Structure 1
């Protein structure tokens, strides 16, 4: 609701908007993509770009609609690696969802190269930064908890990597991604 976002700190507005943007990137790049999710995802992505790259005068209204369309896109498909990893961050460290998505997405250039590149441009354009090195002081047990949470979300990984996702996203690979955060 544009009235609810009026006066929200720019960082929070960005983190929430990027959750929507990332929904679209994950849906559109996923193996579960279909014509419904594609149509909604493409429209949402276009609106996100107007909000965060063009600074459109009706940005709040456009973000509201982007959120709706992005939600519809993932309702017909699924999110992916970013959301799986972000849930590990949120579960263990209590990092809010939008912030966690941004932290995780920034480490996923290998999986979403164009989306991460554009995300970084949006971050620079809005003057927002994300927390860094949030996992640097974690012990093995804590890291394993985050890995367990992330890898327990099989549909998200299958959407991102396909049916043989477990041979690609190993525990060691998940650990290496968390260490980038």
Structure 2
């Protein structure tokens, strides 16, 4: 048997206010004064000097503000790469992503596509990237996706929604500053936090589970229960703990896999553009059959925070649209194999998936 020899983030700094060390961290990585750092920043921070004034730009460094209203697309990656190449003579010294999962995934993808030929869609899949990415740094401003730690970058392409899963995807450096999550709107905090919770449930209940995944998954699961069900935490404690839950949740799936909720939410996202966190919640709400205990606790968390999920998003879809979602979901073979086992396709039929989608 061969075991996966996968890379982890090689350097990480954690602590409130640690964003202030960004200059000291990246400056030694500057190739020369003409090779800029490119900062990809969530556009919710445009005009927010509390954050933007702390971005250490020098020489030809550039800040590109990006909307995270839609899930990241392969075409968006290609456009960013082209923009960066056309506006700078030298290859950048590095890409720094500051934002949620969408921005972090774009930062990972752009850093890969600056050194690999072709288009981003050519690399959707497992281990297709041949050339190491340029130096890239991840700075999450919301916790839960695990994008800061994972070896994938989830992208919607012309044919499918699938990540660039590779050894060159993980960040070279991550800065975990819980203070950056202070202004996250409540519903967004919940949906993204639940992405982390669902990572744990799918990992801990999967057939790929091993002691490595289990230790990370159990820790993240316990933290999620504390954050979303224990009302005694201060806001700061909650921010610190959710940032660590996100990290551990991301690690728990690194050596195993996600499952039914993620597979099906990719279908929603591909067809309807449903954002990842809320999509996972909408799907997970109907998965008692697969994760009875996990769904029961999820409903409790939902109630505790007065969260009501969108209903009937699939109500007016036509058969061909259900087929599109089902095709996307069924294409994610490793997720189904983890969730159900080797003979998953005897259990997971098109009819079964359609019936589940029709409930949403």
TM band (smaller chain): over 0.9
Structure 1, 61-70 or 126-135: larger mean CA deviation: 126-135
Provide TM-score, normalisation by structure 2. 0.50
Shift of 1:3: 2.1
Aligned length: 181
Instruction: Show the counterpart of 1:40.
Output: 216
Provide TM-score, normalisation by structure 1. 0.98
Instruction: Show the counterpart of 2:341.
Output: 162
The yes-or-no answer on 1:3 pairing with 2:179 is yes
Higher Cα radius of gyration = 2
**What is the correspondence of 1:16-165 to structure 2 with a 5 Å cutoff?**
16-55=192-231, 56-57=233-234, 58-165=237-344
CA deviation vs aligned residue, 1:90-119 (integer Å, no higher than 9, x gap): 110011000000000001010000000000
Structure 1 contact 10–128 (Cα < 8 Å) conserved: no
CA RMSD in angstroms comes to 0.7
Question: SS at 2:246's partner residue?
Answer: helix
Partners of 1:31 and 1:106 in 2: CA distance:
22
Ranked by relative contact order (alpha carbons within 8 Å, sequence separation 6 or more), the top structure is: 1
CA deviation vs aligned residue, 1:116-168 (integer Å, no higher than 9, x gap): 00000000001111111110110011110000000110000000000000000
Instruction: Show the counterpart of 2:351.
Output: 172
Structure 1, 119-128 or 55-64: larger mean CA deviation: 55-64
What runs of 5+ residues in structure 2 fail to find an aligned partner?
Answer: 1-176
What runs of 5+ residues in structure 1 fail to find an aligned partner?
Answer: none
Shift of 1:38: 0.3
Moved over 3 A (4+): none
Which is strand-richer, 1 or 2? 2
